[in-house]
A and B are shown apart, each in its own frame.
Chain A
Amino acid sequence: MVEQKVVDPDYLILEAPRERKFITGSQAFAEAIKRANVDIAIAYPITPQSETMHLVGDLWAQGYVKDYYRAEEEYGAMSAIAGAVRGGARAFSATSGPGLLRGLEAIVSWPGHRIPAVLGVMTRVVNAPLSIQPDNVEIAYLLHSGLIVFHAENQQDVFDFTLAGFPISEKVDVYLPVVVATEGFFVTHAKGYVELPPEDMKLPPRDPYKAPVPPTDCEIPPARIQRDAPVQKSNFMSYLIHAVWQQEVWSANERARKWINHYLGGLIEVVNPKAEVFIVASGCAAAQGREAQRYAEMEGLNVGLVKVRSIRPFPTQELREVLKDAKAIIVPEHNIVGWLCKEVKAVIPNGDRVVEGPRVYGGMTLPVELIMDEIYKVLGIKKEKKTLV
């Protein structure tokens, strides 16, 4: 283990010199955890989700992570995360697909319990027929619980989002869990270049007393509420406390915007902001969208890309501004339900500008040609089918 010194989060995330490494997405998660001063990692690390939690276990063996807890299954893992965080620890876990859904009841209770933790989600489909291939439909299940949800395009995003996830999560005005989602296999098992800050630096330890709620005490809500559910008793005041509690979770989600802007450079990234046609995408679809934008530029077409980094909070105002003059908006996705497409349509005027797709699922790759076909269609260009580049 390398001797590490505590540095300011702003320095570690934004200013420290970086060195380029060629690593997998799972290794990128582990490199972030190595520098995050994590107290405890808890997981039910099945195979073949990804090797992320195995690598984090190795960090525990080396001494970078103070404790490692292998739970009996995902519900236990995610419940144990809540307990550890309420007890004052900084915690990390990762899961995917069916495991995510098994732990979902515990996970979606984290925001209401004000649990600042970071959860890696390597998407791999939740539905039968079983698949272990990349398909991000499970992100749809995370969007309405108050969680902060980032969607990483590549290994670099995995590292940056995970490391920044801790200080964002622990800001007193936020204090919500952060999910860092990325496509299994395409990102977790494949290698890419990642710029890493020095490994002899780490975040300051979590200060559980700098918090909007007291540390664990079974005599205060929400612990007490869970035990005897007094706020659910039927009188008007009880409903009101529950309502304002939910408002507080989503208010905290709103307050995260400024910290996402600070640490990640914004909720979205825009390429060619004056474009006539935009590709709006997140995760791996953004990588393919980036290629499509490049191809289009090579062909002299005025196409732009909006990469959505943060799904929650959602970049409503940013998208309205960037897309206000767009003639058409193409939303490629790695799932059948089109959750990002629905989100985009819901927040911009003239939703009929949005092209619903292309979508691939069940582990299929997303060829750039599929996106190019949609670009040609909306621009009225008739093309012979041919192989690009």
Chain B
Amino acid sequence: MAEEKVIKPGPAGYIPQPASFLGVDTPPPGKALLYGEVVDEEIAMREAAKAMLTRRNPTIFPGPLVLWGYNTSAIEKAKAVLELAMEIPNCRIIPMPDYRPKYPKINPEAEINPNHPNLTILHNKIEACIFVGVHCHYANLSLRMIRAGTNCFTIALCAEMGHEDAMVSLRDVHADDIRRFRDVVVEMRKELGIEWEPKMPPENPSLPKEEWTNVSPLDFGEYAYLLLPRKGEIVEESE
């Protein structure tokens, strides 16, 4: 490990250079990135676990690839994320459900948005976080803005090739790998002498309880007309 960490918690400045401009590349298969250096996965996992266990307000940000249950592997991955969250004391889950810019602004307690992710980080004083199930492009935008303007320790559990701008980046991460990381968290927790009984993270207090009774076409705004059949139109098939 180099003496000077290339990628470390910020704030890194007004508009810092992206990690790839500093010579950091995504890790090769079977390896991980730790502060911009290629290391064994185990080493990166331990450092990530330590950050989530010792820094303030640890939070997991699940993205659409985990939240929306596209397929069985996504559902399994979502279960693994919950199992991981249960093992991290006082861990919160704040979703990144989509990538739409939302104006006038998001509710930072309810969600994180890639167009201004630092609002959620700063509002909730989050000092360690995990991105999982976020499409790489949007994860990279978020990780860069968080490193620029906050002191948050970022961890990317990427299903593809990884993220240079996270302090810890694991690649090819699927449900089994998340459970492997969960085991490292438990091991590290014991090493640090932190007592904790696994339990579900708290309900997101800002989101009203979904009862599936109050969905209205009006929720779809200007697109509502797409939901409504035109006069005389009979829709026989749908995807």
What is A's interface to B at a CB cutoff of 8 Å?
114, 171-173, 175, 210-214, 219-221, 224-225, 230-231, 233, 237-238, 240-241, 243-245, 247-248, 250-251, 254-255, 258
Smallest beta-carbon distance B19→chain A, Å: 8
B21 at the interface (CB under 8 A from A): yes
Q: Are A254 and B15 in contact (CB under 8 A)?
A: no
Please name the residue on chain A nearest to B119 by beta carbon.
Answer: A237
Main secondary structure of the interface of A (DSSP, over half): helix
Contact partners of A241 in chain B: CB under 8 A: 101, 114-116, 141, 145
Do the beta carbons of B160 and A212 come within 8 Å of each other? yes
> Could you tell me which residues of chain B, from 96 to 130, have a CB within 8 Å of some CB in chain A?
98-101, 103, 114-116, 118-119
Q: Are B116 and A237 neighbours in the complex by a CB distance under 8 Å?
A: yes
B161 within 8 A of A: yes
Enumerate chain B residues within 8 angstroms of A225, measured Cβ to Cβ.
Answer: 101
Q: Enumerate the 4 nearest inter-chain pairs by beta-carbon distance, A residue then B residue, closest first.
A: A212-B136, A251-B20, A212-B137, A237-B116
A246 (CB) vs chain B CBs: closest residue: B18
Q: Is B201 an interface residue (CB 8 A)?
A: no
Q: Judging by beta carbons under 8 Å apart, are A221 and B99 in contact?
A: yes
16 more contacts with CB within 8 A, not counting A221-B100, A231-B101, are: A172-B161, A213-B136, A214-B64, A214-B135, A221-B101, A230-B101, A231-B115, A237-B115, A237-B118, A241-B114, A241-B141, A247-B21, A248-B140, A254-B20, A255-B20, A255-B25
- Complex Cα spacing A114 to B141, Å: 13
Complex contact A220–B99 (CB within 8 A): yes
Q: Are A210 and B160 in contact (CB under 8 A)?
A: yes
B171, closest chain A residue (CB): A173
Residues of B participating in the A interface, judged by any CB pair closer than 8 Å:
15, 18-21, 25-26, 64, 98-101, 103, 114-116, 118-119, 135-138, 140-141, 144-145, 148-149, 160-162, 164, 223
Determine how close the nearest CB of chain A comes to the CB of B148; give it in whole angstroms: 7
Cα–Cα distance between A247 and B20 once the two chains are bound (Å)? 9
Pick from B15, B21, B162: contact of A251, CB below 8 A: B21
Partner of B144, one of A212, A230, A247: A247
Task: List 19 A-B pairs, Cβ < 8 Å.
Answer: A171-B161, A175-B137, A213-B137, A214-B135, A221-B99, A221-B115, A230-B101, A230-B103, A230-B115, A237-B118, A241-B115, A241-B141, A244-B141, A244-B144, A247-B144, A248-B18, A248-B144, A251-B18, A251-B19
| A248 and B137 contact, CB distance less than 8 A | yes
Q: Count chain B CB atoms within 10 A of each CB in A173, A225, A238 and give the residue with the most.
A: A173
User: When chains A and B are docked, how far (Å) is the Cα of A254 from the Cα of B103?
Assistant: 33
Contacts of A213 in B (CB 8 A): 135-138
A114 and B101 contact, CB distance less than 8 A = no
CA of A101 to CA of B101 in the docked complex: distance in angstroms?
A: 32
Report Cα–Cα, A244/B17, bound state, in Å. 9
Do A247 and B145 touch (CB < 8 A)?
A: no
**In this complex, what residue of B is CB-closest to A114?**
B137
Task: Say how far B145's CB is from chain A's closest CB, in angstroms.
Answer: 6
In the complex the two chains form, what is the Cα distance from A258 to B25 in whole Å?
Answer: 9
Contact B101 A248 (CB under 8 A): no
Shortest beta-carbon distance from A160 to chain B in Å = 24
Q: CB < 8 Å: which of B103, B145, B160 contacts A173?
A: B160
Known contacts A212-B137, A248-B140; is-contact A240 B148 (Cβ 8 Å)? yes
Q: Which residues of A contact B148 (CB under 8 A)?
A: 240, 244
